[in-house]
Copies of this chain bind each other. A is one copy, B any other.
Amino acid sequence: MKLSKRAENVQASPIRKLMPFANNAKKKGTHIYHLNIGQPDIETPKEMLNVYKNFAEKVLAYGPSQGLELYRNNLVKYYQKHQIEIKADDIIVTTAGSEAIVFALLTACDEGDEVIIPEPFYTNYNGFATMTGVKIVPLTTYAENGFALPSSEKISKLITPRTRAIMLCNPGNPTGAVYPKSEIERICEIAIANNLFVVSDEVYREFVYDGMVHTSILDIAGMEDLAIMVDSISKRYSACGARIGCLISKNKTFISAAIKFAQARLCPPTIDQFAANAAIDIEEKYFKTIIAEYDKRRNVVFEELQKVDDIICIKPTGAFYIIAKLPIENADDFAKWMLEEYSLNGETVMFAPAAGFYATPNVGKNEVRFAYILNENDLRKAMHIFREGLKTYQNRINT
Contacts and interface: CB of A to CB of B under 8 A. Distances in A.
Interface of A: 1, 3-8, 10-13, 16, 37, 39-44, 48-49, 52-55, 58-63, 65, 95-96, 98-99, 102, 106-111, 113, 124, 126-128, 130-133, 164, 195, 197, 225-226, 238-243, 251, 253-254, 257-258, 260-261, 263-272
Closest 7 CB pairs of A and B: A127-B264, A241-B270, A7-B257, A98-B265, A13-B263, A60-B241, A7-B107
A259 to B, nearest CB: 8
Contact of A265 (B1, B48, B99): B99
A195 B48 CA distance: 49
A254 B55 CA distance: 38
Contact of A16 (B44, B240, B263): B263
B253 A3 contact: yes
A1 B269 contact: no
Given A7-B107, A260-B7, A52 B195 contact: no
Which of A11, A49, A251 is the most central at the interface, judged by chain B CB atoms within 10 Å of its CB? A49
B253 A270 contact: no
Contacts of A54: 53
Nearest to A45: B60
Nearest to A11: B260
B39 A60 contact: no
Contact of A61 (B59, B128, B132, B241): B241
A270 B242 contact: yes
A15 to B, nearest CB: 9
Given A4-B106, A243-B95, A41 B53 contact: no
Nearest to A125: B264
A240 B10 contact: no
B7 A258 contact: yes
Contact of A110 (B6, B49, B62, B113): B6
Nearest to A240: B62
A258 to B, nearest CB: 7
Nearest to A271: B52
Contact of A6 (B40, B62, B106, B130): B106
B261 A127 contact: yes
A113 B4 contact: yes
Contacts of A13: 65, 260, 263-264
Contacts of A266: 96, 98, 124, 240
Contact of A10 (B95, B242, B264): B264
B49 A61 contact: no
Contacts of A5: 110
B16 A40 contact: no
Given A61-B241, A124-B266, A258-B7, A251 B44 contact: no
A267 B241 contact: yes
Contact of A41 (B7, B41, B59): B59
Given A16-B65, A269-B272, 16 more contacts: A7-B107, A7-B108, A10-B261, A11-B260, A37-B62, A41-B59, A43-B59, A44-B60, A52-B53, A60-B242, A61-B241, A63-B241, A95-B243, A102-B265, A127-B263, A241-B269
Nearest to A268: B243
Contacts of A108: 3-4, 7
B270 A12 contact: no
A61 B243 contact: no
